[in-house]
Amino acid sequence: MSIFNIITILIILSAIFAFINTKFLKLPFTIGLMIIAIVFTVGITILGSFNHYILDEAKLLIQSVDFETALLDVMLSFLLFAGALHTKLDALKKQKGPIALFATIGVVLSTFLIGTMMYYLFMAFSYPIDYVYCLLFGALISPTDPIAVLGILKEANAPKKLETKIVGESLFNDGVGVVIFIVLFKIAQQGLDSMSFTDVSLLFVSEVAGGLILGLLAGWGAFRLMKVIDHYETEVIITLALVMGVSALAHYLHVSGPLAVVVAGIFLGNKAPKIAWSDNTHLYVDKFWELIDVLLNAVLFVLIGLELLVVTMNGAYFLFGLMAIPLALLARYIALSGPVAIFKNKLNFIPQSNLIMTWGGIRGGISIALALSLEPQMGRELFLTVTYVIVVFSIIVQGLTIAPLVKKVLKGSEPD
């Protein structure tokens, strides 16, 4: 099946599902699309039991989509840039301490907590998995999804300072989580004996620092170009070239593309409107990236729902997935506890911030894409199923209940 036909089918399905959700279900956009896609997939599976041609064609479509490449190498950069472009630096500066700890120490700690708990869970059921593979799973499931989080928090009317912490953490922990995954993946491939602590540290620092520097330089370069012109069509094209160029260059230089794109987006979104953009340009850039955000979100969450067709339906794997849900939540709660305790009084955190941030830490397509990149000997089918279960639970259950939780906590904290 040609790339054009695949994209056409996905766009048509996204449009149909979006219409059904908007007209009838009226659920949060991303959640509604994924639920409809899962129901559609289950329907295809049932029909496939009567007519194998339908199921075979549906599986062929999903298998034709390289989800890992489509998300990590193409969609992720656009989605992160769209989110970063609208992130205000003043709010981030006030919360820079906790956000930095959440997105670095928090992700590292969560990786080791989840990996260790999963290792002993498998041991308890006489299903031994190498510890490094469990750590790989911890790395891929620890990052939260800024794409899903932002829309859901806005509908929940969450306090701005809470929204800034969660969204700021999500924007940066994707890049850090991917870097940790890459480091652990190389250790799993080459063996721990072949890589010293210095090698691991240099790899981590070069990926993170290189991504931050590249993003800053690229954002500054795009800003300088826009400053000397006033032509919204050209400036929109420059932002598009910025995202694609930074992603390609980051891949070539072996630095973190997600971090580079986020830094470039934050730099441009905060500096350009005041100096380089006219009101007309600002309007068109905003609308263009909002449209890109909505379109790619629709396709991404439809794809997540359709991925059910290629997930191994193994009872034991599914059970491990259900048991992994509370473990992942517990690990996140513990990982956030330190930064919350350190900054709680200084930054006047709202009550139960740790609980809300734990439940609001929604996992998404990045986790599935990283699980798909595992090699067969790393427990790929097992961890893909476990990841899928956690992601679906996270988006549907946590996504639909975070608004009531925020309202309940805020109501309970109001003085009588």
pLDDT at 414: 61
- Secondary-structure class of domain 3-413 per CATH: mainly alpha
Cβ burial of 219 (10 Å; 0-12, 13-18, 19+) is: buried
Residue identified by tokens 């059904």 is 20
pLDDT tens-digit map of 251-286: 999 999 999 999 999 999 999 999 999 999 999 999
Annotated domain spans of the chain = 3-413
pLDDT at 325: 98
Residue numbers of the chain with a pLDDT score lower than 70: 146-157, 192, 413-416
- Residue pair 132/187 in contact (Cβ under 8 Å)? The answer is yes
Residue 318 host element (H or E): helix 315-343
Q: Would you tell me the crossing angle of helices 105-124 and 160-190 to the nearest 10 degrees?
A: 60
How far are the Cα atoms of 161, 250, 330, 359, 385 from residue 406, in angstroms, in the given order? 13, 38, 19, 10, 30
pLDDT at 147: 63
pLDDT at 29: 86
In angstroms, the CA 59 to CA 306 distance is 9
pLDDT tens-digit map of 281-312: 999 999 999 999 989 989 999 999 999 998 98
Residue identified by tokens 């949060």 is 28
pLDDT at 170: 86
